[in-house]
Structures are given as C-alpha cells and as structure tokens.
Chain A
C-alpha cells in the first residue's frame, strides 16, 4: 500500500515538479489552444467565403473560374493527410520563415477551411430554395437575401457541424510536433523522455485533451439550446 503511494508520489514529482516540468505542459497547452483557435478562425473565414462562392456560382452560373479554383482547393486539402500538408508548408512553402506555431496555425486553418466550406455549403443548401425566391421576388439582391434570410436559418444547420470540426481540429493539432512546435502532445512526449517513464506524462496529456473536448461539447450544447429556443418553429 505505502509502496504504491510512494510510487505515485515519485511519478508525480518527476513528471510535474522536477525542473518545473509543469511549465512544459502549460506551454504545450497554450500552444495547442493558439493553434486550434487560430486555425478555426482562419478555417471558418476561408470556409464561409468558399461556400458562398460555390453556392452563388451554382445558383447564378457566374464566377465559374473561381468556383473551379475552390473545387480544386477542396479536392487537394481533403485529399492529402494533414501531416504531409503541415510538412510541405513548413519545409517548402514557408521555408524562409522559422516560426512553427504561425505556420501550424496557417496549415491547420487552410486545411480546416476545406471541411468548413462543405459544412457551410450543406447548411445553406438545406434552407428551402423558396426562401431565396421570396427574397429575390421582393427585389432584394442575392447578397441581401443571403445575409438577411438564408444565413440566419443556415446557421442552425451549420453550428453543430462546426463544433465537431473544432473538436476534430483540436485533436489534429497534436501532430504539430512534426514541425518543431511544442504543443501539448509534444510536451507529454518530452516529459516522457526526460523522466524515462511513460505513465503519468502520456495519460495526463490524454486527460487534458479529453477535458478540452468535453468542455467544447458542453459549450456547444448550450449554444444549440439557445438557438433552438429562439427558433420558434
């Protein structure tokens, strides 16, 4: 019994206390959050723009060239692994910049944009075309109809899927270590090497990811409930 407690205490000490190793985890957590939230902002922006272009092009037959470009973007970024995209960004596209975190934010953001674009597009297409026709028949422009009528309804379809994308993204960022970023997963790996003990470091890191995901899930549920309440349908 005391042996077990001794073991736990020793593991705890070498994992968190010795050499202020808890700071490694804190830095890792901070970097993970920066990458995930930075990327989600970039991804949402890119995704929304790409979705608008594609929907507008499909409805009006305009912007054909831009639509093709968007299609190619989706195909490439959804068709290759994120780790490979990350490495290409770091070692080729931005080889002249030595800031792993910024490049990771960009790489994950651009990758996520491809998924968000499809989420937003599906959300818009799920709104009855009659809503658009009614708006246009009153003389509202396509932009006004989109902004005032279609998007407010589409957001209810989009938000839950966007939340899942954020969760997937958060976990995906655990490969940021490939481009020298000291993220949360990398912190666990780092401490595992330093302590030559895998248990505490790795399971602790897993628990932190898990709690983050649970937190996001809870927050999303609350938002969805709010939306459902205002949605008196």
Chain B
C-alpha cells in the first residue's frame, strides 16, 4: 500500500532520514520505535507530505506522491493522521471538528457527515460532547475525538504520531483502547509509539529507527524477543 524507496529528508545541513526504504502492506499494523530525535516523526510526516522529502520516492496505492505534479491534498484525504498534541480545531465544536473536512470536501453532505460524526462519537463513548469545545475536554477525550476526526474521512491508512505521549498516565488506556479497536477493524496503520507493551500486542510488524535509518524490522516476537542490532538491544534495555 505504501512503498518507500531511498527516502532522504534534510533540515538545513542535518540529514534526518538517510536512505530509508520500507513497504507497508494493506492491513498491516506497523509500530515505529526508536530513540528521541531518530527521525520517527519526520518519517511519518513524509508519508502524508507534511514534510517534503528531499530524495527518494513514496508510492501510495501505486501513485508516486513525491512527484511534484501529484495533488497532495487528494493524497491526504486518503490518509488519516493523529498528532501527539491532538490539534483539535479550537474554534470549532467537537461535532464540527469531525464534520468539517468530510462536508467541505464534499465527501458527504452536511447531514450525512453529522450522522456519521454522531455515530463515531457514540463509538468512543462521547456522544454528549458533540457540542462541547475542545477546551472543555480532557486530554484523553481530545485524542479520542482526534482519532475519529481522522476516521471520518474513511482513510485507507492511519498514521499515529505518539498518540499517548502527551497524556496523563490514567488517560493512556482509554486512547489505546480506541487505537486497538481501529486496528481490529482491519485498518492499515503506522504507529510511532513509546508504548512497547502496546507495540508488542497490536503491531503486526515493528520497525526500529535510529539515526535516520531503519536498523531492524521484524515481528514483535523477533524485535522484542531476539533483537539482533546492538543499538536496538541497548534501546530496549532502556525502555523496558
């Protein structure tokens, strides 16, 4: 579904992604782990072109999205993204947060979008928050809304950038439950996470990034049970 070939991203003279290749297949749940500053977020943000790659190619459903002629907005409509800091639209109610893009982009009518949004809110147990503003929600509630806001576009793939790392510990569970539910629904997912337990449980494959390179990739059992790369071993010994 997503094929990354020789991806390079630089910020000024700083090479943050150095010749990264990766293939995310339909239905896969890929967990991306690695030390802080290793380039995990940058990798994820390149996938939906929030960052413009400086080299290499990204194919999404067969289309070269790094081609300058490619319509980035159209690509992003088929990719959902969940941010570490939620980024709910502060000026809009929860319901409008969810319906804005589907309705504006004419993917649904206003009424359909609203019905679908209410159904999604019910699914995450927040039907009564439809008319609340983001400021009135807890961090965990915000992130659950942010997840369904992305889902409302019926994306082909969901990208999560540390969806729980800005949350108070007691709210991590409720958000992971929603992510897990999305995974069980068969969604293709790429999840940058520091939650090793979660990666182990939900991921079908784990990718270890270090210094802008993918150092090792494998099933959770392989990565957590029998890590080969010395940097990965060192990393795991610190985080587990």
Nearest residue (CB) in B for A142 is B73
Q: Does B14 contact A (CB under 8 A)?
A: no
* Residues in A whose Cβ lies below 8 Å from that of B85: 130
State the main secondary structure of chain A at its contact with B.
Answer: helix
Interface residues on chain A, size class = 10 to 19
Nearest residue (CB) in A for B107 is A139
Q: Are A136 and B76 in contact (CB under 8 A)?
A: yes
Q: Are B91 and A140 in contact (CB under 8 A)?
A: no
Say which residue of A130, A139, A141, A153 sits within 8 Å of B87 (CB atoms): A130
Q: Does A18 contact B (CB under 8 A)?
A: no
Q: Does A133 contact B (CB under 8 A)?
A: yes
- Of the candidates A137, A149, A153, A232, the one having the most CB atoms from chain B within 10 angstroms of its own CB is A137
Known contacts A137-B48, A137-B81; decide if A149 and B91 are in contact (CB<8 Å): yes
Say which residue of A130, A139, A152, A232 sits within 8 Å of B76 (CB atoms): A139
Chain B nearest CB: distance from A104 CB in Å? 37
Q: Are A233 and B83 in contact (CB under 8 A)?
A: no
Nearest residue (CB) in B for A233 is B135
Q: Does B119 contact A (CB under 8 A)?
A: no
Q: Does B101 contact A (CB under 8 A)?
A: yes
Q: Are A232 and B136 in contact (CB under 8 A)?
A: yes
Q: In the complex the two chains form, what is the Cα distance from A128 to B89 in whole Å? A: 10
Say which residue of B50, B74, B89 sits within 8 Å of A131 (CB atoms): B89
Q: Are A152 and B74 in contact (CB under 8 A)?
A: no
Known contacts A130-B87, A133-B83, A149-B91; decide if A140 and B133 are in contact (CB<8 Å): no
Q: In the complex the two chains form, what is the Cα distance from A38 to B133 in whole Å? A: 37
Interface residue ranges of B78-104 to A (CB < 8 Å): 78-81, 83, 85, 87-92, 100-101, 104
Nearest residue (CB) in A for B91 is A152
Q: Are B90 and A139 in contact (CB under 8 A)?
A: no
Q: Does B213 contact A (CB under 8 A)?
A: no
Q: Are B89 and A232 in contact (CB under 8 A)?
A: no
Say which residue of B77, B90, B146 sits within 8 Å of A233 (CB atoms): B90
Q: In the complex the two chains form, what is the Cα distance from A139 to B88 in whole Å? A: 15
By a beta-carbon cutoff of 8 Å, the part of chain B in contact with chain A is: 48, 50, 73-74, 76-81, 83, 85, 87-92, 100-101, 104-105, 133, 135-136, 146, 149-150, 153
Q: List 22 A-B contacts (CB under 8 A).
A: A130-B85, A131-B89, A133-B50, A134-B81, A135-B101, A136-B50, A136-B73, A136-B76, A137-B76, A137-B79, A137-B80, A137-B83, A137-B150, A138-B105, A138-B150, A139-B74, A139-B153, A140-B73, A140-B104, A144-B104, A149-B92, A233-B133
A-B interface, 8 closest residue pairs, ranked by CB to CB distance from nearest? A139-B77, A134-B87, A138-B101, A130-B87, A137-B81, A233-B135, A152-B91, A139-B76
By a beta-carbon cutoff of 8 Å, the part of chain A in contact with chain B is: 128, 130-131, 133-141, 144, 148-149, 152-153, 232-233
